[in-house]
Structure 1
Amino acid sequence: MAVLLASAAIPLGLVGSPRAEAAARTYYVSPGGADGNPGTSPDKPFRTLQKAADSTAPGDTVSIMNGTYTEAPGGSDVLMISRSGRPGAPITYRPYPGHHPVINPVTAWNGIRVSGAAHIVIRDLEIKGNSANISLADAERGASDKNGTYNTNCLSIDKDRKTGDRPHHIDVIGNTVHHCPGVGIGAGYADYVSIDRNHVYANAWYSVFATSGISILSAQDVDRGDPRTYKIRVTDNTVHDNESKVKWGHCNCYSDGNGIIIDTLKDKAKAGGSGPDYQGRVLVANNVTYDNGGSGIHSYKSQHVDMVHNTAYRNGRSTRMNSYGNIYAQESNDVQLLDNVSYSGPNQPVNPNYLNTDVTYDYNVLFGGRPPETKGPHDLFADPKFVAPGTDGTPDFRLAQGSPGVGSGKPLPEVTTDITGARRDAGAADRGAYASNAAKGTVAPTATANGGGPAGDPEEQFAGQGTGPAASGTDSSSGTAGASNSSHGDGDGGDNGKVPGAGKGLAATGANVALPLGLGMVALALGGGIFLVLRRKRS
């Protein structure tokens, strides 16, 4: 994560053996190329992304040239990644310098699918689904778990359904992901995932699998795991206009369409999943979520989650289901919600709190909606005074002069910059995703015209495998939208959110940002005729 350990950066060229570096190649892809070409020069590129992916070895780069890439006739994915990199030598997929290719799944199940691979970087790409050409009436008539057209995921990563190999150390950085009927970016049964600086919007509209903008589902440790160490990170993303408009096939009801969901990291068997509880820690920081159908950000049946310095504005817009909260936790434990700004719509729940244990809310700015069910000693219920809030165009969610969120937050040494990269004041923290000195802009830095993107990838920036402890007695909180067939959090069940004096410290950076290891991001997968989607799993 770009906000952590910047001083520990080590150039990628200093890692790994000279033999491995010398062997690294760049493969070029262009719609005007041919898969019979060698693919190792821009003037003789491959034609298909799949040919390049199937040629890669650790340390290689796939450089994608201008054009629109769609699935082969009858194909399940535009690009399926199954070959792995290794520590210090990831396989990277990115645009050719100066180019802006578009990955455009139309009838496929996935734009990009990562199937059980490890040490993969996907950065600065545009993945554009086909929802703009589908009507709601057509989607409702065609609703089926056998038809990819109405369930296409933009970027999905999951375990290999044949071998059981789980994806890990996957970085998804600076991509623009939009208009896919299914999930925007999803990671299932994965570990060491970084989803950073992406713009994710207008997804999840038509899927029967109850999908969301960004989803972490049923994560599984590939090593021992430690609740004091971050292994999954969702940071610096802008997420909006994701909504479920078609009924979830599991219950014939409407569900989800969240901005960001951390979903079922524990009690997996009770929700129809499998595997032990996830023991790593999850960081959700510096994200802006607005105008999503479900929640802005929430944790459902999860543990070891820190949600800090996020801004959520008028989520829960769907009129098809009971409104979800903005940022909250449900049926979760060991979660912290600190330094967030949450602006709810009229009569919407602010932070439903149901069946939580060891959950801390503090130093948040809460406004609008119903009275909060849980409030920390330093939480403020006041208008945050955004510069130019809204749900259309280019809203500006920076805090204006005189905002109660300026300089009143809890300094968190683990989060030293904001969504734009502006340095946070170490002594007087601003609440929300933006520092008060941030330049105008609502979207985190993403792809550039030459495919360069911002420097400092997780795979490239951080050295060491530190596993230092978090502050003892860490409490945490996570936000989760209730399902139609489970408690919603705004009913009975009591107030289970902990509100101690000042919250606790955050976790250590840990091996998940180690330069030799990189980070993992995973999502959905399609194996044969089986479609698996990163969706809510509930009993």
Structure 2
Amino acid sequence: MEQDRSTGAPSHHIEVTGNEVHDCAGGGISAIDSDHVTISGNHVFGTSWYAVYATSGISVLTPRDVGGGEAGTYKIRVTGNRVHYNETKIKWEKCGCYSDGNGIIIDTLKGDADHPAYKGRVLVANNLSYDNGGSGIHSYKSQHVDIVHNTAFANGRSTRMDSYANIFAHDSTDVRLLNNIAHGRPGQATNSTSRNVDVTYDYNIYFGGKAPEVRGANDVVADPKLVRTGTGADADFRLSEGSPAAGSGTPFAAVTTDFTGARRALGTPDRGAYGFGAKSSGVPGHASDASSPGQQGDAPAGSGQSAGSDPTASPGGQAGNGTQGIAGPKPHSASGPLAETGGSHPALPLGIAAVVLALGGGLLYAARRKRP
């Protein structure tokens, strides 16, 4: 979705849920110049191959505040999606180079010469992103983003450009990356500190690929012991017995359920998209209570809720594994300082996002930004 071409008015309060989007020449699901967007429970694959706009499987580009916005309230949510096999195979016309083909990208929220900065907050949670040409999930030139409880596997598959990391932030401000699992390819970047300010990585599990550029006090470098890694239809990214992801995360008030909709533990939730013991590996309807259809609204920060083949290598060592930390709005861990690439964080928003957007199938014009 994009702004009204006749009036220039941004699209807003739109929900895209439960769709299967595939074999699109351009982007899969795209929200451009929009606000109050929910993209939830979709299966997006095989897109972005033959467009000249550097598209991705799911993208949020230059959103516009509708009715005001502040960094403590989620207005855009990307939750509970399975995104894979998206890749750009045509050069981006803007630079004459290959770019993007990511699983999920949050793009240019800090604004540019043609777009004002977006003041609302974005939640990216409970997604599975694997075998994409670019990143699994990342924030680019963006602000006020939370990337939490996602699982990314063997992204950066494109041989046409430098490998993107699995889950990371670049040139971003006020971004939190927590409780994620990133299982990389050999030689793949793991995360990034590049041009980040006030960006926190913690309670993540890294495996495969290069050593992380930054590691939080509770980040772990170890095999997450997923049931069956791979890039085919039989891949199963649930946690197996003995996984270091089980019972080792930090509470995050905005995400109370997992990829399947099962309730997460209140004290020390499991890291990644799945809770340990999840009954199904299929695509759920929704990722959290807050994103369920018919129950949406914008909630302020602090309004806590209760409640195939494996192409990767196996690295060594393991870091400390804390079990206390950010309980929703808390900015810091009780077991040590978070690894930050900038200053301290504001109160973590909780809220519920309203709805919008994004069906960008086939030839949708979705100008994508290049990651340097």
TM range (shorter): 0.7 to 0.9
How many residue pairs end up in the alignment?
Answer: 341
How far apart, in 2, do the equivalents of 1:182 and 1:218 lie? 18
Q: Do the aligned residues in 2 keep the contact of 1:190 with 1:520 (CA within 8 Å)?
A: yes
Structure 1 residue 286 corresponds to structure 2 residue 126: yes
CA-CA distance at 1:165 after TM superposition? 1.2
1:391 to 211, 228, 231: 231
Provide the secondary structure at the position in 1 that maps to 2:294. helix
AA matched with 1:177: V
Find the counterpart in structure 2 of residue 37 from structure 1: none
Render the CA deviation track for 1:61-102: whole Å, top value 9, x for unaligned.
xxxxxxxxxxxxxxxxxxxxxxxxxxxxxxxxxxxxxxxxxx
Instruction: Please report the TM-score for the alignment, with normalisation by the length of structure 1.
Output: 0.60
CA-CA distance at 1:535 after TM superposition? 1.8
Cα separation, partners in 2 of 1:468 and 1:319, compared to 1, 3 Å: closer
How far apart, in 2, do the equivalents of 1:313 and 1:215 lie? 18
CA-CA distance at 1:505 after TM superposition? 5.7
Find the counterpart in structure 2 of residue 460 from structure 1: 294
Q: How is 1:196-235 mapped onto 2 (pairs within 5 angstroms)?
A: 196-235=40-79
Structure 1 residue 520 corresponds to structure 2 residue 356: yes
How far apart, in 1, do the equivalents of 2:289 and 2:195 lie? 41
Structure 2 alignment gaps of length 5 or more: 304-327, 333-338
Q: Do the aligned residues in 1 keep the contact of 2:75 with 2:121 (CA within 8 Å)?
A: yes
Cα separation, partners in 2 of 1:234 and 1:222, compared to 1, 3 Å: same
AA matched with 1:188: I
Cα separation, partners in 2 of 1:499 and 1:308, compared to 1, 3 Å: farther
Render the CA deviation track for 1:460-511: whole Å, top value 9, x for unaligned.
123x654355777859xxxxxxxxxxxxxxxxxxx972598xx87631315x
Q: Do the aligned residues in 2 keep the contact of 1:185 with 1:214 (CA within 8 Å)?
A: yes
Provide the secondary structure at the position in 2 that maps to 1:398. strand
Structure 1 residue 246 corresponds to structure 2 residue 90: yes
Find the counterpart in structure 2 of residue 175 from structure 1: 19
CA-CA distance at 1:362 after TM superposition? 0.3
Q: How is 1:54-453 mapped onto 2 (pairs within 5 angstroms)?
A: 157-269=1-113, 274-445=114-285
AA matched with 2:94: H
How far apart, in 2, do the equivalents of 1:176 and 1:532 lie? 20
Identity of aligned residues (%): 52
Q: How is 1:467-486 mapped onto 2 (pairs within 5 angstroms)?
A: 467-469=300-302, 474=331
How far apart, in 1, do the equivalents of 2:289 and 2:210 lie? 42
Instruction: Please report the TM-score for the alignment, with normalisation by the length of structure 2.
Output: 0.85
AA matched with 2:68: R
How far apart, in 1, do the equivalents of 2:284 and 2:242 lie? 24
Provide the secondary structure at the position in 1 that maps to 2:122. strand
How far apart, in 1, do the equivalents of 2:367 and 2:359 lie? 6
How far apart, in 2, do the equivalents of 1:367 and 1:458 lie? 32
AA matched with 2:263: R
CA-CA distance at 1:532 after TM superposition? 2.9
Find the counterpart in structure 1 of residue 318 from structure 2: none
AA matched with 1:433: A
Structure number with greater CO (CA < 8 Å, separation at least 6) is 2
CA-CA distance at 1:523 after TM superposition? 5.4
What root-mean-square deviation, in Å, do the aligned CA atoms of Structure 1 and Structure 2 show?
2.6
Q: Do the aligned residues in 1 keep the contact of 2:260 with 2:280 (CA within 8 Å)?
A: no
Cα separation, partners in 2 of 1:160 and 1:297, compared to 1, 3 Å: same
Render the CA deviation track for 1:345-394: whole Å, top value 9, x for unaligned.
00110002200000000000011101110110000000000001100122
Render the CA deviation track for 1:18-49: whole Å, top value 9, x for unaligned.
xxxxxxxxxxxxxxxxxxxxxxxxxxxxxxxx
Q: Do the aligned residues in 2 keep the contact of 1:229 with 1:468 (CA within 8 Å)?
A: yes
How far apart, in 1, do the equivalents of 2:204 and 2:57 lie? 23
How far apart, in 1, do the equivalents of 2:26 and 2:5 lie? 20
Between Structure 1 and Structure 2, which shows a larger proportion of helix residues?
Answer: 1
Structure 1 residue 509 corresponds to structure 2 residue 354: no
Q: Do the aligned residues in 2 keep the contact of 1:282 with 1:306 (CA within 8 Å)?
A: yes
How far apart, in 1, do the equivalents of 2:331 and 2:246 lie? 25
AA matched with 1:432: G
Structure 1 alignment gaps of length 5 or more: 1-156, 447-453, 476-494, 514-518
CA-CA distance at 1:536 after TM superposition? 1.9
Cα separation, partners in 2 of 1:350 and 1:455, compared to 1, 3 Å: closer
How far apart, in 1, do the equivalents of 2:351 and 2:290 lie? 15
Q: Do the aligned residues in 1 keep the contact of 2:21 with 2:361 (CA within 8 Å)?
A: no
